Every structure is written in C-alpha cells, then in structure tokens.
Structure 1
Amino acid sequence: MTSLTVVGTPGERRVTLFAEACARYGLREPGVVPWTAVLRGEDLRLEPGTLVRIESPGEDAEADALLRGPGEPSRVGGGGAWHAALTTATARIREAVERTPGAVLLADVDEIAVMFDKRLCHARLSAAGVPVPPALPGPVGDYAGLREQMDQAGWGRVFVKPAHGSSASGIIALHASADRVRAVTSVELAGDGLHNSLQVRSYEDEIDVAAIVDMLAGDGLHVERWFPKAGVGGRTIDLRVVVVDGTPTHAVVRASRTPMTNLHLGGERGDLDVVREKVGPQGWGRALDVCARAAACFPGSLAVGVDLMIGVGWRSVAVAEVNAFGDLLPRLTGFPGGGAEGLDTYDAQVRAIAARRTAGAR
C-alpha cells in the first residue's frame, strides 16, 4: 500500500483534510513530520518508499516564530527572514527524501521558493507569456522612491505588495495624485509597528501612508499597476482557481466591496455560474487556459492555486499570484467540466497521486 508523509502542523485542518481524502481512497493515514521539527533542524527520518507532501506551516505560533523570529504573530513584516528560513527548511526536506530509498517528493522546493517571492513569480509568468499586470522595475526602497517611480511610469493607482507573504498581509491598494493620497489595506499602524487586521481600512494622511510603506520596504516590495476588476452586485470579484496535475479543477469566486477579496477579510463567495455566464463559453475557456499556463510554469508542483482577475468588461484576464499552498477551499467540489466533479481539492490531489503511482508501476 502507498505510504504517504505530510510535512505540516499536526492537527491543523490542512493536514486533517488531506488525511480524510486519503482514507476515502483506501490509503492509510499519512505520517506527519511537524514543521517545528524541520525548522529546529532535527534529524528527519522517513519511511523508505514514502511519498512526501509539503503543507503550509499554517498559523502555528511556534513555527511562525522559528520562521520570522520572536514577536507577536499578528505583526506585519519579517518576510525576508520567513522566506530564507522556509527555503532552508524545504531544502532539508529534499535532502531527507534524497537519502531515503524509494522516497519521492510531491513538490519542487525551488518552485515553492519562487511562488513565495512575488517579484520572481511575476517575472517567471511574464517570461512565459502569461498575462500579468505591468510591474515597476524596482527596487522600491521607500515611499519617496515609490512615488517617483509611479510618476515616471505615469501610474496613479497601484497595488503595493510585500515581496514575501500571503493572505493579503501588508498589501496596499494605493491611489496617489498631486493633491490626494488614499491607501486601502488590512494593515493597522500601531505604536509598536504594523499589524495584520481582519478589518480593511483606509489611510488618507500621507504621513501615515509613507510610514507604512517605509516599514514594509525593508523586506522588499513588488508594485503592480492597478488592474480594474469586473464586479457583480456592487462587489468586485476575482477567482481562486486550483490546478491539479496541470488541469484546472476547482474555482471559487471571491467578491468584496474593497479591493481585497480575501475571504478572511470580509470577502464573500460569489456565484461561479454568474461569472461563467458573464464571460461566455469562449471566455471561460480562455480563463482556464491562462490558469493552466500559469501552473505549467511550476511543473514540479502537484497542485497550485492561481488568483485570476477578470477585467471590467469581462474580456481581459490577468494572474495576480500563484500560490504554492492555495488549495484550502473546504467543502468546495470541482466545477462542471473540470474532471473533478464531486471531489474536493484534496480528493482530486489524492486521485492524481494514485494515478501517477499506477502509471509508474506499469
């Protein structure tokens, strides 16, 4: 019987949902290697022949401290340290797999590193001809430098993104002109620095906006021209599309009255049927093709989550990000025609793993 091992946080729902999918396919429960053990440099011993899945470290406070250093888990920043520690840790996982007879890694750790660097990810997608918003060439060292580069590019509206991060942490939707500045973000500017908040807020005092950008810039910034997104019912929308083994299988519409559509920031799940009707059959096919092409830039990854923006007018699309751990969509089954109808994202991945093993045994 196929042996599986998950590098993750024991008891965390990503690990649990994957284990439940394995059970549905008659596979034994995966072993779990805690992220904290990997990050502390403990000796990693794997079962010969096991298939190793790397999960997100999740929201485990101890893992976060080992990745970013000690501090409040809600703080914004430390992305550079986080990325360096993650890259070192995933390299250790790869080394453990390579020295274990018959073990196979179900991910490419170099691809994970690229997906968690928005600058590198954007460059890879752009080089492959995947539509992405134009980006400032950088580097952007502070607010003054940001405004200077925006003026040179002739851009009045941009998205400012920390180079390393996820879940919209530190992202700013910035509108700047000669006499007005408005920044929309989930960042809370406090006396002890920046913190993540579940409340999206606006800053219109340029001193505050400059302070936020200056603090974020230390870990590197990626700045894209604002992509005007389509809307339904007074809410802007985008899609999270999960691509499994090269095929788009699941999609969720995220709708919000703010520029940030993330569900944990007040975004809501929209109606995929409405979106498909708006773009039409050919437009839907083009959208899925773009997602497949984005995923093809990371061929060593079993599954990725592609954040797809649809432009005003429902004709243009652009990829905002590709997420190495973008498959956490509980209770969402595959969309019609995607080949994973009735399956959640974890079922689809376990099925793909089983199919690969069967093909390899022939």
Structure 2
Amino acid sequence: RRPDPGRRGARWYRTFTAALVRIGAAATAGGARIAGDIDDIAVMFDKRLSHARMLAAGVPVPPAFGTADAPVHDYASLREAMTDAEERRVFVKPAHGSSASGVVALQTAPGGRIRAITSAATTPDGLRNSLRVRTYLTEPEVASLIDALAPDGLHVERWVPKASIGGRTFDLRVVVIGGEPAHAVVRTSSHPMTNLHLGGARGDLEEVRRALGDDGWHEAMDVCARAAACFPGSPMVGVDLLVLSRMQSFAVCEVNAFGDLLPRLTGFPGGPAEGVDTYTAQIRAVLAGSGAHA
C-alpha cells in the first residue's frame, strides 16, 4: 500500500531529520549559519520528546500516558493505560503529526459507550487526513482507527478542560521570538480541535486578556517563554497554550518549530515586535543576535 503523502509518520520523521543533518553539514561547509537549531527542530517534531523535555524543565504540560518500558502501542494498550490512570478522556496524537492530522479526542463512559472525534477518515485505501472533523461511536471503529495510527508511534495525554469565550472553547498560539512572547492568536472551536483549517475561528485576543487580568496574562506569557527556553538554539518557537477552565491555570500541549504563520497579525503593543509580522520580527532578532543592523 502506498503511503499517504499527507501523513507524517516514523518514516517521514527519519527522512526529515536526516535531511536536517545534511543541510546543517552543507551550511557549515559553506560558511553559512542556520537560524534554527537542528536538534531542537528534531525534538519539536516528536511530541513524546518535546513533552518529556518540557516536563523535566517544570513547564506545565498535560499528564502523558505510557512509558518507554510500557508504551501505548495499540488500542488495547491505550485502554489499559486509561484504566490504570482512571482516565475516561484523552487526546491520542501521532508522535510526528502536525495540524491536528490524525489527532483523536477520545471519550469513554460506563456501559461501553465511546466517542472518538478526529479529522482522520477511514477509507478503503486506509487512513486519510480530512478537513472535516468526524465522530466515531463504536468500539470496532475506534479500535481500528487507533491501531492504524499506532505503528508510527503515539503520544497520549489527559484531555484537560479548556476555558471558553463566547460559548466556544479556545486556546492560544503564541509565537516566542528571541525568548520573548511576541505574537498571539486566539483559536476558538465548537469541537475539541481548535485548528483554524478544521473549522476553528480566530477569537478576540483583547477579550481573553481582559478575562485573564494582568496577572493571568503575564503568567500565561511566562509559561510560553519557559516552554520556548527548553529549545535554546531556536530563535522562534510556536507554543500552543491551553487556558484551563476558570482561567486560573495553563498547560502547553504543543511546541512548533515552524508555527509562525499568523497572517495579518502584528506583535504585542509596546513589545519589540509591535507593528511588524512574525517574519519581520524574526529577521530583526537574528540580525540583532549577529550584531548586524536591519
């Protein structure tokens, strides 16, 4: 069976990281400098590694399930891990995916009831990524879905309750440049995935800031800065920040090596990126770090 070109799995990850090494070697030989750190990028493209790095640094992250000795490797081991942890709601994520591709928001309930919400579509040719979020309600469907995703590696986290604005749950994509949070977009949704290409919508950042208050906003940005600091060789890190229910705590669910595509969005007022987009802010930060002038 031919692989789905839109699906990022273990083979894609091996090819990608090997390419990074070749690019780094070529840059060194040619006297060039790569803005991003190759090792950091490789870790950020493995959800298991990035989660473990942030956890070790004390960054708040959702609890993960499975260990190196007892990984979640199929549907049966997933249900066993959930039972051991007394969890009924988890997010199941392909280890190397992006854009919510293959992510499954899984809920179980007494009496054998089950619900899996995902953008993954089961087709006669196997799994395909879809722009339509769908729901699977039978255990055979869900088991088949998880078992199809599992060979490329899974990262499983507790499904923590997110806060709501205007009746829709939300999270924040925060771009940290040169160690300082510089840009943010609110992503709202009526289903568990807030990605804008899956039906999510941009929310009002000022409304979120007012709801958090000054202290809450500063704490949120501090969490993002601490997450980015786990990748010290990277001048830019995109941080997906969960604002938990009651807006009193936070957790980082993802970090992105290339999560800086925020069209028509300029930096925070009063900050170093005020009035400029993410790419301009990064160029300024790189030039400043090299001693050059924009």
Same fold (TM over 0.5): yes
Q: Is 2:89 the partner of 1:160?
A: no
Q: Mapping of 1:39-78 within 5 angstroms?
A: 71-74=3-6, 76=7
1:137, CA displacement in angstroms?
Answer: 2.4
Q: Which residue of 2 aligns with 1:327?
A: 260
Query: Which of 39, 42, 51 is 1:110 aligned to?
Result: 39
Q: Mapping of 1:202-213 within 5 angstroms?
A: 202-213=135-146
Q: Which residue of 1 aligns with 2:73?
A: 141
Query: Which of 1, 5, 11 is 1:81 aligned to?
Result: 11
Q: Distance in 2 between matches of 1:321 and 1:141?
A: 21
1:335, CA displacement in angstroms?
Answer: 1.9
The 8 Å contact of residues 269 and 275 in structure 2, kept in 1 or not, is answered as no
In the comparison of the two structures, how many residue pairs are matched?
Answer: 289
Deviation digits for residues 140-159 of structure 1, max 9, x if unmatched?
Answer: 11111100110000000000
Q: Distance in 2 between matches of 1:245 and 1:83?
A: 26
Q: Distance in 2 between matches of 1:259 and 1:316?
A: 18
1:275, CA displacement in angstroms?
Answer: 0.3
Q: Which residue of 1 aligns with 2:134?
A: 201
Deviation digits for residues 108-156 of structure 1, max 9, x if unmatched?
Answer: 1111110010000000000000000000024111111100110000000
TM-score by length of 2: 0.95
The 8 Å contact of residues 119 and 129 in structure 2, kept in 1 or not, is answered as yes
Q: Distance in 2 between matches of 1:271 and 1:128?
A: 31
TM-score by length of 1: 0.78
CA RMSD of aligned residues (A): 1.4
Q: Is 2:176 the partner of 1:249?
A: no
**Unmatched runs of 5 consecutive residues or more in structure 1:** 1-68
Deviation digits for residues 27-62 of structure 1, max 9, x if unmatched?
Answer: xxxxxxxxxxxxxxxxxxxxxxxxxxxxxxxxxxxx
- Percent sequence identity is 61
Deviation digits for residues 215-239 of structure 1, max 9, x if unmatched?
Answer: 1000111100011000111110000
Q: Is 2:269 the partner of 1:350?
A: no
Q: Distance in 2 between matches of 1:72 and 1:80?
A: 13
Q: Is 2:204 the partner of 1:271?
A: yes
Q: Is 2:117 the partner of 1:184?
A: yes
**AA paired with 2:20?**
T
Q: Which residue of 2 aligns with 1:283?
A: 216
Larger radius of gyration: 1
**AA paired with 2:178?**
D
Q: Which residue of 2 aligns with 1:296?
A: 229
Q: Distance in 2 between matches of 1:333 and 1:150?
A: 42
Q: Which residue of 1 aligns with 2:102?
A: 170
Q: Distance in 1 between matches of 2:45 and 2:4?
A: 21
**AA paired with 1:90?**
L
Deviation digits for residues 250-294 of structure 1, max 9, x if unmatched?
Answer: 000000001000000010000000000011000000000000000
1:177, CA displacement in angstroms?
Answer: 2.4
Q: Is 2:59 the partner of 1:127?
A: no
SS at match of 2:97: coil
Query: Which of 313, 324, 331 is 2:246 aligned to?
Result: 313
**AA paired with 1:114?**
V
Q: Distance in 1 between matches of 2:22 and 2:2?
A: 22
Q: Distance in 1 between matches of 2:197 and 2:214?
A: 30
| Stretches of 4+ aligned residues off by more than 6 angstroms | none
1:339, CA displacement in angstroms?
Answer: 2.3
1:72, CA displacement in angstroms?
Answer: 4.2
Q: Distance in 1 between matches of 2:137 and 2:233?
A: 44
**AA paired with 2:136?**
Y
Q: Which residue of 2 aligns with 1:339?
A: 272
The 8 Å contact of residues 250 and 338 in structure 1, kept in 2 or not, is answered as no
**Unmatched runs of 5 consecutive residues or more in structure 2:** none
SS at match of 1:104: coil
Q: Distance in 2 between matches of 1:352 and 1:258?
A: 36
Q: Distance in 2 between matches of 1:119 and 1:178?
A: 30
The 8 Å contact of residues 156 and 175 in structure 1, kept in 2 or not, is answered as yes
The 8 Å contact of residues 267 and 277 in structure 2, kept in 1 or not, is answered as yes
The 8 Å contact of residues 27 and 33 in structure 2, kept in 1 or not, is answered as yes
